[in-house]
Structure 1
């Protein structure tokens, strides 16, 4: 049994737009692509998009380690995200930033020193 999170679900209104944005975030194409669920496999993690129109924006925040936080932030904004937290050092050279997708879900980025 895994001790980590194995599935993260984001509730979205625009499945096609979310698929493009999360494809940019993860740097991959979906492994499951249906009208009711789009899933991405990422390093043993399942990231799922469910088009149920939930607009509360209270989904989980997941931080992904990236080699270049500025470039990753630009790619997400170009794919439709809105910057909510510019890259900044939270101590010891660790950089974090976040964006919000069009459905209000927060996506976190982290760059190790």
Structure 2
């Protein structure tokens, strides 16, 4: 079972408004999602998300998310290979499921399944 590749990277930020300005300048476009709890940019087939640091959905550092067809099957395969579940699959809106696991060195791997 292959992945669809890394398409999403979430960045925790202390000041969502200030970060939004910097990322808009970096990417050369305005965000497609702009709310008090999440700002998202679509750039050349990749999604760059800004999440307020310390919020429930915020990672501790930037996390790359691998898009998969079956998140539970991928979690099972990864844990069988030695990864540990950091955050079980959960719905985050619009039918999207996300989860994180850690590799044997503690690196965080994000998983996304769109329904």
Give the TM-score normalised by the residue count of structure 1.
0.47
Give the TM-score normalised by the residue count of structure 2.
0.47
User: Which is richer in strand?
Assistant: 2
